[in-house]
Amino acid sequence: MRGSLVSVGSLVWSLAGSLIVFSACQVSSGPPDYSGVFDGSGGRWIDLTYAFSEETIYWPTEDGFQLEELAYGETEAGYFYSSYRISTAEHGGTHLDAPIHFSRGGMSAEQIPLDRLIAPAVVVDVTARATPDYLIDVADLEGWERAHGRIPDGAILLLRTGWGERWPDRLRYLGTERTGPEAVAELHFPGIHPDAARWITDRRDIAAVGIDTPSIDYGQSSGFEAHVIIYGADIPGFENVANLDELPEVGAFVVALPMKVTGGSGGPLRIVAFVPSASEQF
């Protein structure tokens, strides 16, 4: 589906044996019926986003999320009015990493096409093996494929380490409660091994990569190799993704819509997933 989100005819993704079909009817036969996707009869929507608040976890060198009240209450005209100013770094909470974050000339936030943000998803679960310095390796990815088949072209790859269970406890999630440059050396959480990053970019056609930790590189990384490799291939990333334990390993469909910042290296992300009922096809 590269280059176009909707085309005339049938838009079909075969996801390791699970089939999600959005049937695009001819104009003469009337509009397609997508009601089951939105009224709850055909499946369920799962929010994969942490709310932004004073609890939101950021990289130790970044300021946290700030919400400044500008107005709240009844006006002289008699109606209620509230307004706030928000302040946030691009890379905090559930957020997008645009390729330009680690790739000179890579796509910035507003340049990422929708077919890299809206696609079927596969979930590789390494929770049983994950430790604070765990590196997701090629064996993890190949093991998933032995169980479920080849990762489909154009899929969003979501990596579940179980770290979401630790949010928003900074010490358990980051490995340190400290802030500032000195805290970076104390970070401990799982990430992607450089060999696995190369496997993703060189051997599969992945739309985007998401993870339930603060970074696609593990906490002790100093060279950020996974960032360099994956974003160097113009593949966007999603970090601090929530609720991956609620998704099946195959069969979900993800909508990941970041703030559209011209020239941005990332930004706050609202990401959700639709999980069809077992008996439903659309």
**Helix pair 194-203, 225-232: axis angle to 10 deg:** 10
Residue 43: the pLDDT is 95
- Tell me the percentage of the chain whose pLDDT exceeds 70: 88
Amino acid at 35: S
Region of 55 please: left (phi>0), alpha (psi -120 to 50) or beta.
alpha
Closest CA relative to residue 203, chosen from 237, 221, 238, 230: 230
Closest CA relative to residue 158, chosen from 107, 212, 106: 212
Residue 152: other Cβ atoms inside 10 A: 18
Enter the tokens of residue 81: 């009015």
Residue spans of the chain under pLDDT 70 = 1-29, 279-282
Residue 18: the pLDDT is 38
DSSP state of 174: H
- Tell me how long the chain is: 282
Residue 29: the pLDDT is 63
3-class DSSP state of 88: coil
Taking the CA atoms of residue 185, residue 199, residue 254 and residue 15 in that order, the dihedral angle to the nearest 10 degrees is: -150
Query: Mind giving me the DSSP string for 119-157?
Result: EEEEEEE-TTT--TT-EE-HHHHHHHHHHH-SPPTTPEE
In angstroms, rounded to a whole number, what is the distance separating the alpha carbons of residues 197 and 83? 43
In angstroms, rounded to a whole number, what is the distance separating the alpha carbons of residues 60 and 154? 33
Burial 231-243 (b: 16+ CB within 10 A, else e): bbbbbbbbbbbbb
Residue 138: the pLDDT is 98
- Which H helix or E strand runs over 145? helix 138-148
Residue 202: other Cβ atoms inside 10 A: 9
In angstroms, rounded to a whole number, what is the distance separating the alpha carbons of residues 223 and 113? 28
- β-strands 135-136, 191-192: how paired? parallel
Residue 180: the pLDDT is 97
Domains of the chain by start residue, with CATH: 10-63+90-276 (3.50.30.50)
In angstroms, rounded to a whole number, what is the distance separating the alpha carbons of residues 269 and 118? 13
Enter the tokens of residue 116: 């890299």
In angstroms, rounded to a whole number, what is the distance separating the alpha carbons of residues 170 and 92? 13
Annotate 175-209 with three-state secondary structure. CCCCCCHHHHHHCCCCEECHHHHHHHHHHCCCCEE
